[in-house]
Amino acid sequence: MTLTWNGKRFDWVNVVYFGVVHAIAATAFWYFSWTALAICIAGWWLSGSIGVCLTYHRLLTHRGFRVPKPLEYALTFCGMLASEGGAITWVAMHRMHHTLSDREGKDLHTPKDGFWWSHIGWILTKIGSDLREIERKHAPELVADPVHRVMNRLHVFPNIIVGLALYAWGGWAFVVWGTFLRMVINLHATWFVNSASHTWGYRTYDTPEGSTNLWWVGLVAWGEGWHNNHHAFQRSARHGHEWWEVDMTWMVIRGLMALGLAKDVQRLPATADKFRLDRKDHAVLVEEPAA
């Protein structure tokens, strides 16, 4: 009998890979040191905020700003450290999500197909479509870039290189904290954007899907948890719109702007307020879906 989840066959390479990564990360308690903790946090920021949020998402997927090409490639290397695939694959699948957002059976990771499906199930199963065709359709400009094509194929190597460097520096303890635990924290922070930020929280803008703004995802995902804001204005490089909506990734983009490295930074349109919901009537917690 073939095991499936939501009618999709398990991808046993991913099941084993992510299982091993989580198992090794679970041993971190026995290898604790303050230096290892600092390496983990720094690596989480580099791979999560700089790699995934700033580069994969706001720069490459939505073109919320632009940077010089050499810097774009260097930032893409940081994204590869997140162990979420190469940039071309990530961008194509995320654009596909926006095209079919929260449509049952069509969106890659909607909670309408199950909360845990949206969080991790879709990662552990075969997509059921030709991945190269998805990339050509949804990320043609990246497919046309030979440097991005090579980096996309070699996306597993940055963590191997960093892991070897950490082992040479501080032994297995640094590898556990700086590679495995760091990856697990960042993976779940990213996955919570797909699951929790389409399930609980408040809605500021009238959008056709179930995206929400969820404060704790906003913190652990470096600003990506202000997800309703993002779905309302996808090209905006800033996701936190209110003063309390802390957006650490936007702060980095502001720094790049100050250095003259970030150009054509997309902001909220002047007409943004007309898409706001009446907070008294609509800014309520979204109930947890039935099991």
User: pLDDT tens digits for 236-256?
Assistant: 999 999 999 999 999 999 999
Number of other residues whose CB lies within 10 A of the CB of residue 267: 12
Q: What is the pTM of this model?
A: 0.93
Token pair belonging to 184: 């697990």
d(CA 29, CA 240): 34
Token pair belonging to 33: 């040191």
Percent above pLDDT 90 for the chain: 88
The 10s digit of each residue's pLDDT in 44-98 is 999 999 999 999 999 999 999 999 999 999 999 999 999 999 999 999 999 999 9
Token pair belonging to 140: 């043609």
DSSP code at position 125: B
Q: Give me the residue spans of the domains in the chain.
A: 11-282
- 212, with CB counted inside 10 A (0-12, 13-18, 19+), is buried
Number of other residues whose CB lies within 10 A of the CB of residue 199: 21
- The residues facing 66 across adjacent strands are 263
Rg (CA), the chain: 19
- 10, with CB counted inside 10 A (0-12, 13-18, 19+), is middle
